[in-house]
Amino acid sequence: MAGTGRRDFLEGLRDGLPIGLGYLAVAFSLGIAAREAGLTAVQGFVASLLSIASAGEYAGFTFIAAQASYAEIALGTLITNARYLLMSTALSQRFSDETPLAQRIGVGLGVTDELFGLAIARPLVRPIYQYGAMLSSIPLWCIGTSAGIVAGQLLPARVVTALSVSLFGMFLAVIMPAARTDRVVRVCVLASFAASYAASHLIPFTMGWSNGTRIIALTVVISAAAALVRPIDPEGDDAA
């Protein structure tokens, strides 16, 4: 049994490392955004350790930069990270019955898009394997964030400006392949671009909104509209 645990752990460490290297790059550009919001390297490290979420943290930093209220920050975090609710729910079906609560919590703390992908690759969740994968990826996420904050202070302004675009490039890398294969997602993405521009530049009523408020309002309205008009097939959701 101890042998299986050790083997699972090493296997997890190995599978988590490529994820961690990707995290290092994403977190670095996230750190640039964190610095603009006024976070120190230590604050960025802790924020990334607690949240481990690119979109959610970026939204959070946007709120901090806009001097938003804590209620707004909580709501924005809830919306941008809502998908983890779905992932954790899917994961909860895949524990063996004798898995103790502590192990469920341990695995649950590390639910990110990528680590969730590793977890569901097998019919049953293996907590020890999952801990290995978390250990070789999450620290790189935190270090990357701090590195981005420090580099943002040291590099020339022009370079920092160009680097700040990388996070949006990463967002594009997530949405474009899905937009290509799924027509509804494609329409959603175009509608989101148009609505986001209109809300920030054209419509007087919404132009006074902070970036965070706009992100929350448009995400809820557009996602709800898509869910009403084109609901997904619940049976085919296993791959989500």
Partner 1 sequence: MSTRIWLSVIVMGAVTIAIRLLPLTLIRRPIKNRFLLSFLHYVPYVTLAVMTFPAIVESCETPLAGFAALAVGAIAAWYGANMVSVAALCCVVAFVLGLL
Using CB under 8 A, which residues numbered 187 to 226 contact partner 1? Answer: 188-189, 192-193, 195-197, 200-201, 211, 214-215, 218-219, 222-224, 226
Nearer CB in complex with partner 1: 10/239: 239
List binders of partner 1 among 118-157 (CB under 8 A): none
We find the least distance from the C-beta atom of residue 127 to partner 1, in angstroms, to be 11
Residue of 79, 140, 142, 147 interacting with partner 1 (CB under 8 A): 79
Q: What is the 3-state secondary structure (H, E, C) of the chain?
A: CHHHHHHHHHHHHHHHHHHHHHHHHHHHHHHHHHHHCCCCHHHHHHHHHHHCCHHHHHHHHHHHHCCCCHHHHHHHHHHHCCHHHHHHHHHHCCCCCCCCHHHHHHHHCCCCHHHHHHHCCCCCCCHHHHHHHHHHHHHHHHHHHHHHHHHHHHCCHHHHHHHHHHHHHHHHHHHHHHHHHCHHHHHHHHHHHHHHHHHHHCCHHHHCCCHHHHHHHHHHHHHHHHHHHCCCCHHHHHHC
Residue of 10, 86, 203, 207 interacting with partner 1 (CB under 8 A): 86
Nearer CB in complex with partner 1: 3/236: 236
- Does 92 help bind partner 1 (rule: CB under 8 A)? yes
- Does 159 help bind partner 1 (rule: CB under 8 A)? yes
